[in-house]
Amino acid sequence: MKVVVRTVLHESDLEAVPRTSIREIFSLISKSLGIQEVWYFGLMYYGHDAEEIWVEQSKKALKDLKNHSTNLHYKVKYYPEDIGEELIESITIEFFFLQVKLCILSDEIYCPADTCVLLASYALQVKYGDYSPDTHNKDILQKQKLLPDRLRTQFSMGATEWNKNIENMWVKHKGLDKEEAMLEYLKLVQNLEMYGVTYFNITNKKGTNLLLGVTALGLNIYKTEDRKKYYNEKTLREEAEQREVEYKKQIQHMKEEMEKDQKRLYEANLTIKRLQEQLEDLQKSKEELEQQRNELSAMMERLEQSKNMEAAERQKLEEEIRSKHEEVQKIQEEVERRDAEAKRLQEEVEEARRKEEELRRQAEEALRREEEERQRKLEQEELETLPDDADTSLPELQQVNDQLKEQLKLLQSKLEETRQQEQESDLDRIHRINLLEGRDKYKTLADIRRGNTVRRVEMFENM
């Protein structure tokens, strides 16, 4: 009996007797690939409407597959919670990388445009190593598929511009070896909402066709037309109403704070204006003092040089000198007074700024404490019955380094300029809304885990 098994690396043709077990075929393919972490993988074939049908290894033999024996695929079936921590063998990492890359390029896993470009740059690092302008010319990028096809229609950027952005990021990966680059790629893909989900068709009591999404992080229910949302309409409506209440509170709080800030700003501006006026007056007084001192000095010099001066004339000059000296003394005192006033106002300004900074810090601290308290209360709500030592933690969202952050910001700005709104898909809109609301995959999963079993069942039946 002929058996054909396709993998992301190659295709294997085998001849086996009909009673050969699927387990034996799976073991043979695993050994030929050098894969030891076999628990992540399985054999499957595509059924009606391209549905993935996984073959039960322990019970089935080749004869049970009938005409599907020549259409088997050796693929990743189970995904770990944290790729960076749990995948060990290089061949396993490569297999995950190649399969996930195909899913990204075919849009089986939705990925936003900026992340697609970053992933493409890691894929080039995996394939070619460090970027070299002498070796890696533009033909290398043009002769292979690096991005999902939809990006070409959703943004008015030409192939040259896309490739330049990919190249600019590829340069930043200097020093990463093949395995490190594959892991960085997989860690970023792990952030995506549709990564690592195996779907099964199910129905509820109302007869609604739904999808059960099985992941390493738990079970989720999806509507068939939307594999990216985690909530049903009822939940979304409840959340929208709650958000509206919270937004109104936040807006009122912001208005009150704005009024306070405007008052403080007005008072600070008055103080600064007074300070500026004082400094101007001080400068004028200093200039006048300098002029009077110069005149006094000139008089003293004339007195010193006029020994033959008549007594009456000399006496008049001495009186003028005494008068000038008194005038200089008064100006000196005025300068000192204004200098002291300017210093006092300067201290007032600095104190006002210090208080403003302290108030801002206190406000941020209050918001932080409020958020922590809200999270604490949510965590104290009734959960499903779990063992005391159950681990409910989730992996952290993978971040990019500072160099790539700057590159991504530039790319995101360019994407906003060239976005063709009419070409935006439902998944693009959902992703954009999630960004605006500060939501990500792990926050959503954490929210899903909250609430008791009865409420979850009720939500499921109402979908």
* Whether the predicted pLDDT of 9 surpasses 80: yes
pLDDT of residue 290: 78
pLDDT beyond 50 at 361? yes
> pLDDT category, 293, cuts 50, 70, 90?
confident
Position 224 confidence tier, pLDDT thresholds 50, 70, 90: low
**The pLDDT of residue 458:** 61
Q: Supply φ then ψ for residue 177, to 5 degrees.
A: -80, 180
Asked if 91 and 29 count as a contact pair (C-beta separation under 8 A), the reply is no
- CA nearest 189: which of 79, 269, 345, 294? 79
Q: How far apart are CA 402 and CA 409, in angstroms?
A: 11
Name which residue leads in pLDDT, 75 or 233: 75
Average pLDDT over residues 282-302: 74
Strands 11-15 and 2-6: antiparallel
What phi, psi does 383 have (nearest 5°)? Answer: -110, 175
Looking at residue 334, what is its pLDDT?
77
- Most confident option among 233-242, 264-273, 385-394, 420-429: 420-429
Which residue would you say has higher pLDDT here, 197 or 309? 197
In the chain, pLDDT over 70 holds for what percent of residues? 76
The mean pLDDT value for 139-152 works out to: 89
pLDDT of residue 65 exceeding 70, the answer is yes
Helix and strand numbers (H, E) in the chain are 15, 8
Identify the pLDDT of residue 244: 65
Q: What is the mean pLDDT of the chain?
A: 79
Mean pLDDT across 3-12 = 90
**Which residues, 6 or more positions from 37, have their beta carbon under 8 angstroms from its beta carbon?**
87, 88, 89, 92
pLDDT given at position 391: 53
Q: What is the pLDDT of residue 383?
A: 44
pLDDT band at 194 (very low <50, low <70, confident <90, very high): confident
Span of 102-116, 134-148, 239-253, 324-338 with lowest mean pLDDT: 239-253
